[in-house]
């Protein structure tokens, strides 16, 4: 869950799963987190809805441990 200042700068972010407050400085999340914005479309029961959620790294790790097919992970050697 994200909260923005009047100028559009990110003010705070909270994990939707465990409610941990994520570190935000200068409008940037300063720790590992998955920030997801998904617009549902045709062929779903949520057509026309846009869902926003944030997961801290611990909750993300816990979530993917339950997947029957593992997440495809690739190593990136150059970070921009």
**Could you tell me which of 17, 49, 48, 47 has the C-alpha nearest to residue 35?**
17
Q: How far, in whole angstroms, is CA 55 from its chain's centroid? A: 5
Residue 75 lies inside a defined structural domain of this protein: no
Residue 52 lies inside a defined structural domain of this protein: yes
Residue 72 lies inside a defined structural domain of this protein: no
Residue 73 lies inside a defined structural domain of this protein: no
Residue 44 lies inside a defined structural domain of this protein: yes
pTM, full prediction: 0.85
pLDDT average, residue stretch 38-58: 94
Enclosing domain of residue 28: 2-65
> What domain count does the chain have?
1
Q: How confident is the model at residue 77 (pLDDT cuts 50, 70, 90)?
A: confident
Residue 17 lies inside a defined structural domain of this protein: yes
* Distance in angstroms (rounded) separating the CA atoms of residues 44 and 25: 37
pLDDT average, residue stretch 71-76: 93
| Beta bridge mates, 35 | 54
Residue 47 lies inside a defined structural domain of this protein: yes
Residue 22 lies inside a defined structural domain of this protein: yes
**Could you tell me which of 19, 66, 16, 62 has the C-alpha nearest to residue 36?**
16
pLDDT average, residue stretch 33-43: 94
CB 13 within 8 A of CB 24: yes
pLDDT average, residue stretch 44-52: 93
pLDDT of 76 over the 90 cut: no
């Amino acid at each position: 869950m994200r909260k923005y200042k009047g100028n559009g700068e990110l003010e705070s972010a909270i994990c939707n799963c465990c409610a941990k407050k994520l570190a935000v400085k200068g409008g940037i999340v300063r720790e590992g987190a998955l920030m997801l914005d998904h617009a549902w479309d045709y062929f779903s029961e949520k057509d026309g809805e846009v869902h926003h959620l944030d997961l801290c790294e611990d909750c993300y790790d816990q979530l993917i441990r339950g997947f029957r097919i593992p997440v495809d992970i690739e190593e990136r050697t150059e970070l921009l």
